Structure 1
């Protein structure tokens, strides 16, 4: 069993989700004729609304409406995100403070600077299991699950090294055995929700994990998003599972090989927009609103059950969020609403940003 829990994988929240939502439809993985990049999709949606995307340099672009600059983008980051929100989304600990200040549920844990290694080690020696992550790194770099006293040194070194800023902190939090959900929030509305299912296989009693992974990855080739993000099959891919590639799982045994649903670590996105409890949508919107100026972002929640808010926590916010996992999910309905809603928000700002809220004749001249 993984060090994180003694509960069999099939009985864990993610295992139950896989059994109910994924395995019955595995033979019908979504296929798509083409794959558009997020920035390309945004450009198309803006063009349909008469907003011209002018490429300035590299990944920098300006938005023009009626000949005037009304916004722009840097990669996937647009002017729907304020400087304050950009700073918050660049620091997991800062975003967590915004969430907590708004009274939202967050995982228990602490942040440590690079010179507080001893204090961090003392925390690890207490009740766990623990997850260690760099404060400012992205794409799951430097994240370790199931950290113990014996693995602390390697996990700490990995988290510190992955931080893009030398002064950035390291977060240590208690592991939440839950389903990872990504909500794409624009303004005050959730546009799409995807469950980020980590790497898994189902045993047949004769095939090794290596063979099962090879068969799983072959099946994923029909989906262009899964195809371009397939990782190399190696022992390192199994992370903290404690498994070996040569191990042979029993017949019908569900094996979770990772805790991270990142596509480049073998995870798959499953659309659950219509399945999540409405209160989870409200929680995601509240998380986005907790960070001033966060007009469009991916919000990550952990919940033991997509149909309930019990024990759900807000994990993170990503201003660079990519809508492709919603547009090209492995299973479930493809969603274009994220890019459409973001383009609509940019158009609304272009039309009304500098306009008075009240017509001039209704304003009191003494207000000045």
Structure 2
């Protein structure tokens, strides 16, 4: 009896979360949507929340949000937040988009590519990728990418000789370079100037940031960087890093998803933990149900990004009426989570 107590079949654990796998999957999600600094999927990947940084060539800067639909009738999205000068804004229809804004929008997955083109971020999918760091995260990413696409070219730079040999043995389709990613000669050998994306996932933030910047300077189009110190994260955009992954935020999101009670299906921490986007089932008793959204008067700091009903993905407008059992994707400031509880008439449990 005792020897079976902690066997796989008897282990008294409901969910096992691996921070390394969560980080690797977050990197892969960012690769799925070139041009975005973040992407989270909901409703079995039928709906996506996408983060985009607006550059000088964005054709809709200085445009009020209410005019986006007039200018682009086929643009079926909801802009759910603007991060400007480090501050989170839940926008109204009169708010304008400015150069340097980081925005999140929610859209049906099939419409994301069109939205990215409107924001000036329609970029090519990466086929030539360099991974800095051959640890568990880097190895998981390489395995997944090669398994998903046989035509993809992966090069891995690993400073530890023994680890480099192991990676070369375990991932034979990847080219493994043993050396320092901060060595310009190693980067030249890896031909970083021809790569679409560099992914830096060592345990050292400085190595990750500097190797990414060196690669961008050499001509690599895009950099995705693992940053453990969350205070560094927001600064990376200003120096040329396109997307970063915060292990703490990524892991917390996975934990909270399993801590929820009621009808919360999934959620994700965003904006450095200042906001959450979550997917929930509308109950018949919810004040959201049965009347046009313009009459609901959502509290400031909460915005509905999408409504899924059966096979339909609905872009919520003032006249939209939510029905029982609809799946609602809702974006909220963290401090407004109690109000979200009330709207869904469910109890959300935190730590």
Question: What TM-score range do you get, normalising by the shorter chain?
Answer: under 0.3
TM-score (norm 2): 0.22
Structure scoring higher RCO (CA < 8 A, sep ≥ 6) equals 1
TM-score (norm 1): 0.21
